[in-house]
Amino acid sequence: MTSTNTPTPRPIPVLLDCDTGIDDALALTYLAARAASEKDLELVGIVSTGGNVHVDHVQRSNLALSEMLGLTAPVARGADGPLEEPPMFADDTHGPAGTGHATLPDPARESDPRSGAQLWVDAARAHPGELVGLLIGPHTNLALALAIEPELPRLLKRLHIMGGAINHRGNTLPTTEWNVAVDPEAAQRVLAAFSAAHRRPVLAPLDATETVTFDQSTLEAIGALGAHPVIPVLTEALRWYFEFHEADGFGWMSHVHDPFVVAHAFSPALARTAPLAVDVELAGTLTRGQVVGDWLGRWGREPNVDLVVETDRGPVIAHLLGTLRAGLPLLP
């Protein structure tokens, strides 16, 4: 008799590059919960990039959170600063250590001895054609990795980026989004490398990510998820994030860019994409760091990203909460 059992698909290897960051911390928690419940992904590397706070704070947070979530992926410290500009930080947005009002315990885990750039390269070489890269911070370490291994775009299965503001006001300067504004040269090099390799990353700009907002009911729903020790960390971090957004004129709420981007990477039905040619402005006196999209085809270039253009807040929030609810009880 022929067996009707089908083999279980192997989990997708994933590398997360982040500048943790309140929404980054929630994105990392989502990945751990999804890996535990759906078993469709495996986190094989975490790269700490300076951005929201100094890279040392990012590295400490990533070590502490990964330990709290039972993750064993190597955590590598990235570069000290952007490729050309001095670093800038958003501690007013994310708190002095990047986790708002939350205080993380001192991690027992040690940093991986490799650089963040080398971890990108090693993970891609170990999983050729399989690795999914999630870039939810500045592009510095991926740009450095491309200098080590120019074939990186072809080694990756997919790259998902949170960055840019195409037809939307900026959140850093009037036309610029934070992740790109921190290191415009790195963002331009990453886009150029993937364009040359004819591999289109999925780019989620503020146009899409700022439609995904948490309100008080979402905050309460996260607080009610259970007894896992990461829950009070998330709620206290988010409380700072809500306070920042209220002070910035948005009311008692928060944008949650990064969790949406990582969720969409594995649940593509959460958003619609459209091909677009984009580039990064490096010389503008008022617009340096702006990601410019050529909707009219004036450049005569082929599209080089699949731009996230449309999503629906309700299903995204339900998916995020459902994944946390299913996965957190399975974690240590």
For 5-26, give one letter per residue: b (16+ CB within 10 A) or e.
eeeeeeebbbbbbbbbbbbbbb
3-state secondary structure the chain: CCCCCCCCCCCEEEEEEECCCHHHHHHHHHHHHHHHHCCCEEEEEEEECCCCCCHHHHHHHHHHHHHHCCCCCCEEECCCCCCCCCCCCCHHHHCCCCCCCCCCCCCCCCCECCCHHHHHHHHHHHCCCCCEEEECCCCHHHHHHHHHCCCHHHHCCEEEEECCCCCCCCCCCCCCCHHHHHCHHHHHHHHHHHHHCCCCCEEECHHHHCCCEECHHHHHHHHCCCCCCHHHHHHHHHHHHHHHHHHCCCCCCEECHHHHHHHHHHCHHHEEEEEECEEECCCCCCCCCCEEECCCCCCCCCCCEEEEEEECHHHHHHHHHHHHHHHHHHCC
Task: Tell whether the model's pLDDT for residue 3 goes beyond 70.
Answer: no
Confidence class for position 237, pLDDT limits 50, 70, 90: very high
With the C-alpha atoms ordered 34, 41, 234, 309, is the resulting torsion angle positive or negative?
A: negative
Q: Name the token pair of 259.
A: 């969790």
Q: Name the token pair of 316.
A: 């995204």
Task: Tell whether the model's pLDDT for residue 220 goes beyond 70.
Answer: yes
Q: What is the span of the domain harbouring residue 95?
A: 12-330
Q: Is residue 38 part of a domain?
A: yes
Please state, in angstroms and rounded to a whole number, the distance separating the CA atoms of residues 279 and 276: 10
Please state, in angstroms and rounded to a whole number, the distance separating the CA atoms of residues 146 and 194: 10
Burial class (CB in 10 A: 0-12, 13-18, 19+), 226: exposed
Least confident of 4-18, 132-146, 189-203, 210-224: 4-18
Task: Tell whether the model's pLDDT for residue 217 goes beyond 90.
Answer: yes
Q: Is-above-0.75 flag for pTM?
A: yes
Phi, then psi, of 278 in degrees rounded to 5: -130, 160
Q: Is residue 320 part of a domain?
A: yes
CB 320 within 8 A of CB 311: no
CB 290 within 8 A of CB 175: yes
**CATH number of the domain enclosing 326:** 3.90.245.10
Number of independent structural domains in the chain: 1
Q: Name the amino acid, one letter, at 304.
A: N
Confidence class for position 8, pLDDT limits 50, 70, 90: confident
- Averaged pLDDT for residues 162-166: 98
ω before 251 within 30° of 0 (cis)? no
Q: Is residue 3 part of a domain?
A: no
Alpha-carbon 232 to chain mean position: 21
Mean pLDDT rounded to a whole number for the chain: 97
Confidence class for position 4, pLDDT limits 50, 70, 90: low
Task: Tell whether the model's pLDDT for residue 196 goes beyond 60.
Answer: yes
Confidence class for position 114, pLDDT limits 50, 70, 90: very high
Q: Is residue 308 part of a domain?
A: yes
- Averaged pLDDT for residues 218-241: 97
- Averaged pLDDT for residues 18-34: 98
pLDDT for 28-48, tens place per residue?
999 999 999 999 999 999 999
- Averaged pLDDT for residues 131-135: 98
Q: Is residue 137 part of a domain?
A: yes
Q: Name the amino acid, one letter, at 111.
A: S
Pairing mode, strands 278-280 and 291-293: antiparallel
pLDDT for 78-96, tens place per residue?
999 999 999 999 999 999 9
CB 38 within 8 A of CB 9: no
**What CA dihedral angle connects 27, 311, 266 and 122, to 10 degrees?**
-60
β-bridge mates for residue 275, sequence order: 306
